[in-house]
Structure 1
Amino acid sequence: MAKTVSSDSESTVAGSVRDYLVWSIFNLSYMNFGCLGLVALIFSIKSRDRKIVEDLEGARYFAAKARTFNIAAAVLSAIVFIIFIALLAAGMFKVAKTVQLQQKYKLFGKG
């Protein structure tokens, strides 16, 4: 279904559909949990393509999918990062406790 009539209001509406391309590239580069960043990037590119051919309904659909995958990638990556920091902190406490015990009982040392 091609549109033959083009007006300023249609081009304004087409420009207002967000495709989340920059966010998808960021998630692909830094927060690619389970390839969700790649999937978000693909949907962002599809949304931009639909916007260029003035299929606004398709552009909105793919933009919504891109947004969903970007949110999922960001949230899951943040959770993994927080878990990693928590495990690292717990490991540091364990190492500090082990060093204290070694000094107290002079384990593994000369003397």
Structure 2
Amino acid sequence: MSRGREPFSNLTTIDRNDDSHRRSLSASSVKGVSERERDRQVELRGGSETLAPQWWEFFNFKLVNELVNEDDESIFGAILEYVFPSATNPGPGYVIAFRGTLFKRETWKRDLESDFAIILYTSSN
């Protein structure tokens, strides 16, 4: 997807009981976190482009907290809260999304270190 294109131009309604819509929410949350880290990197270089919110706001979520790496201040995750909870619209009240590995100058080393730490932890348990 290009950074300027609307991500959900062909999705007109959201059915939180539909598996494919829930997968879209999950994928969009992850993409939103990746975009938020890219937004942060653009801001560090003096830019002001912010595209991350469109990825979760479409599904009526708002950003509650960013998960930030203390070593390099990169954003690796986010906690999102559903804005309109009700008994008739079931689904998660919160979503925790992690962005995954970015091969960008600002984050690649820390991301790969984290990836290897996870692999070592998983294989030892």
Taking structure 2 as the reference length, what is the TM-score of the superposition? 0.29
Instruction: State the structure with bigger RCO (CA 8 A, min sep 6), 1 or 2.
Output: 1
Taking structure 1 as the reference length, what is the TM-score of the superposition? 0.32
* Structure whose residues are more often strand by fraction: 2
* Structure whose residues are more often helix by fraction: 1
